[in-house]
Amino acid sequence: MEIKPLKRYSVQEIDQSLFEVSKKIYPRALTGWFSSWRWIMVWFTQILFYGTAWLNWNDRQAVLFDLAARKFYIFGMVFWPQDFIYLAVLLVIAALSLFLFTAVAGRLFCGYACPQTVYSEIFMWIERKIEGDRAKRMRLDNAPLSLRKFTLKTTKHLVWIAVALWTGFTFVGYFTPIRTLAAEVVNFDLGPWQIFWIFFYGFATYGNAGWMREQVCKYMCPYARFQSAMFDKDTLTVTYDEKRGEPRGSRSVKADLSTLNLGSCINCTLCVQVCPTGIDIRNGLQYECIGCAACIDVCDQVMDKMHYPRGLIRYTTEHALEENLSKRGIWARVLRPRTLIYTAILGLIVLVTALSLALRLPLKVDVIRDRGMPRVMEDGSVHNVYRLQVMNTEETPHRYKIKVGGIHDAEIVSDDSFAVPAASTTAVPVRVRVELEHAEPGSNKIYFTVHDRDDESVSVTEKAVFLIPR
């Protein structure tokens, strides 16, 4: 057998095979139904993000993640490290919602609510306002450096940087009171961590939305890679109807389609020009497609001009294309086992979490027994000392009383009433006395009940051990 010598590759060839040379994308501006929805989502998410940080509740910031004090304030609720379970549940709800929405309508999150899409949309809008639409931007980029080009580019970057820094400032404003932060910015009195995070988050926004854009979706976001695992043949995706569109070709508006040997696609390439990731949806579903539906809007406009029915590019499913399903048939299959299971699990988790939040007691108690040995007193009793960590999770001070039980005649011989200020924790030393004959040598179960003196229904019982020397 003849063994062929190995081919030798030049450095340039290896470079080319490892890295795809990316071309700058100049998405064309457009209007349309889906575009309006994208802008509604931009407004909604940004009003929520920039606005919520400035809302007040009970004389403090409504949403504040106070990491230093280890307390998260969300409107009327205060979450402590002990409530970490709610964060875990929130993540589970977010993941399940993503599975559900993806199973129903593909990359809805990517196309309408992902911060990368939202900020790219805002940055592209700024770019269009300053440099003009696609053709003007392309001409400007190809033109030699001039005063006009320099001014336009500098203005664009300054506005981008201002938006990015405002975003960074707002982000930090969720972790440190935003009004204090604003005053510190005005007085040039920011701490090193605040400066770091404002610039770090601002830089990430500027870099991702201004420079990297579709590269983030293509190469950095893992979601694009595993989304296919959540798709099935009844998932709605942005699809080009190849049967109807091909063979593609240009023609006059007045030409009668039935007499031409052509499909409905007039090969205007507008669907490619509006695509923020620069792909051609006519090549089939691609992982780069973020499901923004810009190509649907523009193609519908082309179809209107040509007096053809809309929907050459549309949200549809693989089954619908194979079996020629009507819209009703498509929606009937939305309710399939996979989506019903996701919905049921999601509904159950949301319900249980809501109930648990509604029934959450504004009092938490931890009992720690003092490490010292029990003391046998002269009167024949034994004393054990405990430390009760009592947490008042409400934003008003409360008065509490401690009771002890579990061993006959056990009594508290230290102060059993105390107050805990609003949203804080107090350590209460408690000494318990038990007659020797009422307990066994070794460890005995004992119960501490802490109850609110103004509301008996707020009461927590914790168990501990009472030691009797052998």
Kindly list the residues in this chain that would bind ligand SF4 in the complex (CB under 6 A).
238, 240, 245, 265-271, 274-277, 279, 281-282, 289-295, 298-299, 302, 312-313
CA gap 183, 190 in Å, rounded: 9
SS3 for 370? coil
Shortest reach from residue 283's CB to ligand SF4, in Å: 9
CA gap 409, 168 in Å, rounded: 60
Sign of CA dihedral 139, 140, 141, 146: positive
CA gap 296, 274 in Å, rounded: 10
Shortest reach from residue 302's CB to ligand SF4, in Å: 5
Q: Which is nearer to ligand SF4, 215 or 267 (CB)?
A: 267
Shortest reach from residue 280's CB to ligand SF4, in Å: 8
Q: Which is nearer to ligand SF4, 16 or 228 (CB)?
A: 228
Query: Whose structure tokens read 């011989």?
Result: 413
Read off φ and ψ for residue 418, nearest 5 degrees: -160, 170
Q: Where are the strands (E) in 179-260, listed by range? A: 237-240
Q: Which is nearer to ligand SF4, 293 or 404 (CB)?
A: 293
Q: Which is nearer to ligand SF4, 124 or 420 (CB)?
A: 124
CA gap 421, 291 in Å, rounded: 51
Do residues 30 and 274 lie in contact, with contact meaning Cβ atoms separated by under 8 Å?
A: yes
Q: Which is nearer to ligand SF4, 294 or 363 (CB)?
A: 294
Q: Which is nearer to ligand SF4, 103 or 312 (CB)?
A: 312
Residues in Cβ contact with 404 at an 8 Å cutoff, skipping those fewer than 6 apart: 410, 411, 412, 430, 432, 446, 447, 448, 449
Shortest reach from residue 273's CB to ligand SF4, in Å: 9
Shortest reach from residue 281's CB to ligand SF4, in Å: 4
CA gap 244, 312 in Å, rounded: 7
Shortest reach from residue 235's CB to ligand SF4, in Å: 14
Q: Which is nearer to ligand SF4, 266 or 432 (CB)?
A: 266
Shortest reach from residue 336's CB to ligand SF4, in Å: 23
Taking each continuous run of H as one helix and of E as one strand, the counts in the chain are 18, 16
Q: Which class for 110: exposed (0-12), middle (13-18), buried (19 or more C-beta within 10 A)?
A: buried
Order of all β-strands in the sheet with 417-420: 417-420, 398-405, 442-452, 455-468
Shortest reach from residue 223's CB to ligand SF4, in Å: 14
CA gap 240, 299 in Å, rounded: 10
Q: Give the residue ranges of DSSP H helices in 316-383.
A: 318-323, 327-332, 337-358
Shortest reach from residue 298's CB to ligand SF4, in Å: 6
Shortest reach from residue 25's CB to ligand SF4, in Å: 10
Do residues 293 and 271 lie in contact, with contact meaning Cβ atoms separated by under 8 Å?
A: no
Q: Which is nearer to ligand SF4, 126 or 292 (CB)?
A: 292
Q: Which is nearer to ligand SF4, 114 or 163 (CB)?
A: 114
Q: Which is nearer to ligand SF4, 170 or 273 (CB)?
A: 273
Do residues 286 and 275 lie in contact, with contact meaning Cβ atoms separated by under 8 Å?
A: no
